[in-house]
Amino acid sequence: MAPREVAIVGVATTEQTRQSNGRFGASYALEALKSAIDDAGLAREDIQGLYPRIDQWPLIGDPGGNYRDTNWAAQLGIPIRWFTGAVNSGAGTGVSAILDASAAIGAGYIDTAAIVLGMAASTPSSSRTAAWTTQPNPWNEWTGTYTAAQFALAARRHMHLYGTTPEQLARVSATIRNYGHLNPDAVMRGRGPYSVSDVLEAPMIAEPLTRLMCAQVNDGGVAMVLSTVERARDLAKPVIRVLGGADQLSYPAYAEPPLLEHALGHEFSRQWVDDGLSMAGVTHDDFDVVELYDGFASWIVMQFELFGFCERGEGGPLVESGVMELSGRWPTCTDGGCQSYSHMGAPALLRPVEAVRQLRGETPDACPGWASGEHSHEPGRCRQVRDARIAFAASMGPPTGGGNFAILALD
């Protein structure tokens, strides 16, 4: 039997905020899941597979064993028939979950799956950095290293090898943050517009990364529902097909310093990227919108190279050319990304959700008629990509040597 074709049939996000006011991650997750099921036109009982990630259930904190995850069947009041996921993508709630769910649905093990994420513990114990930016491992804990410092070193190495400039990194963040400026749902809505100079003049976090080149810290929830293309065509929303994708893990994400080359002295393989594109039957020229994971500005430069949009060392000039702009070749991080829209600690699913909204034409912005799908496509006012039909969506760990992506298309 040929594999069944898979579609994304529902997406939803809660409010993304810095003020949870006592809410738990479970609250955000359940709200997002209900909204995604409603968006799909399905019922809770239709969900057979589940990929959850929350920070805690109310009054339970951080329970031992597997209670945090397996409590979902009891909370939803339905049996869960498929419950798995990798950890290279927001604890299994991003692209890795999309690919796993697509495989399960395609093979016929289940008909419908949901991916759900809720985080409400963003208030750091230290005002200097969020809790998830440090790793309690003996080989790095004693140095006081944290994520921004690690990737600042990788950025400096990239600058040394290829001549990447601070201005190019600043162009990345100004572009992404200006999309968030237009997005009424972004945490940083209305804070721009930003110039390259604004980004460069922001306080330095870890040279060469200024504060405006780094992801923010906030709370929120997000969910996605997948089913068969056949089922999707009976539902109200446009059918968004999962054409393919790929995943590769090269080293412990965030625990060990990111490298531009393999520790054994050779370049990381990009065969996995070629395999994913081949599976989907597309090339880079087919993509209308690109949603990358922008934890830091330098990550975008590295991902354009890693994913083959340009050769190694060409990422800086590529972003400087305006390729990420609404009028550019590959509009990128069009919701404002981790730097402006939301980063709640494990935001891996947000990039694919934005890709779905772009393909559906459902992007809130400054256009008066956006709610009915009327967009001007005017840079500085609109963030809806014109005639978007195929999207590239990444949700990854460190973009040196590995990561993941899904290729989505309007049916």
| Range 196-206 average pLDDT | 97
Do the beta carbons of residue 358 and residue 385 sit within 8 Å? yes
pLDDT band for position 133 (cuts 50, 70, 90)? low
pLDDT band for position 126 (cuts 50, 70, 90)? low
Do the beta carbons of residue 139 and residue 130 sit within 8 Å? no
Confidence at residue 329, expressed as pLDDT on a 0 to 100 scale = 97
Q: What does the pLDDT look like over 210-265, one tens digit per residue?
A: 999 999 889 999 999 999 999 999 998 999 999 999 998 887 777 777 888 877 77
**Whole-prediction pTM value?**
0.94
Do the beta carbons of residue 64 and residue 192 sit within 8 Å? no
Confidence at residue 131, expressed as pLDDT on a 0 to 100 scale = 64
Tokens at residue 52, please?
Answer: 């959850």
Rounded distance, CA 406 to CA 292, Å? Answer: 11
Pairing of strands 6-13, 240-248: antiparallel
Q: Which of 78-87, 133-142, 170-179, 261-270 has the highest mean pLDDT?
A: 170-179
Q: What does the pLDDT look like over 29-61, one tens digit per residue?
A: 999 999 999 999 999 999 999 999 888 777 666
Q: Which amino acid is at 267?
A: E
Which residue from 116, 94, 102 is spatially nearest to 6, judged by alpha carbons? 102
Which residue from 142, 186, 132 is spatially nearest to 15, judged by alpha carbons? 186
In order of their start, the domains of the chain are 6-124+216-410 (3.40.47.10)
| Range 372-399 average pLDDT | 92
Whether omega for the bond prior to residue 63 falls within 30 degrees of 0, making it cis, is: no
Rg (C-alpha) for the chain, rounded Å, is 20
